[in-house]
Amino acid sequence: MKFKTDAQCKHCSATILDKMRSIYPDAQWSMDLEDADKVLEAHGIPENGETAAKVIAALEETGFKGSWIQR
């Protein structure tokens, strides 16, 4: 799954990744701050609306905004 975020720096990325790993510890998480959409990507989580809502809520808990990039 991929999410567009408003992260701006490595500190932002670290904060987001720590939160996501606490929710889905078995998933593989990464962030691409070079991409214009500051993409948060996860492998190993269910790709559905319920999961997307949970990830977006977690982003908001860390002070960031995000939206699911559906294929």
List 39's β-bridge partners, or say none.
32
How do residues 11-20 score in pLDDT, each as one tens digit? Answer: 999 999 999 9
Q: Which of 58, 6, 5 is nearest to 27 (CA)?
A: 58
Average pLDDT score over the chain: 96
List 40's β-bridge partners, or say none.
3, 31
Averaged over 30-56, what is the pLDDT?
96
Question: Which domain covers residue 50, as residue numbers?
Answer: 2-69
When divided into structural domains, the chain yields a total of 1
Q: What is the CATH number of the domain that holds 56?
A: 3.30.70.100
What is the spatial distance between Cα 45 and Cα 68, in angstroms, rounded to a whole number? Answer: 13
Residue type, 15: T
* pLDDT given at position 26: 95
pTM as predicted:
0.94
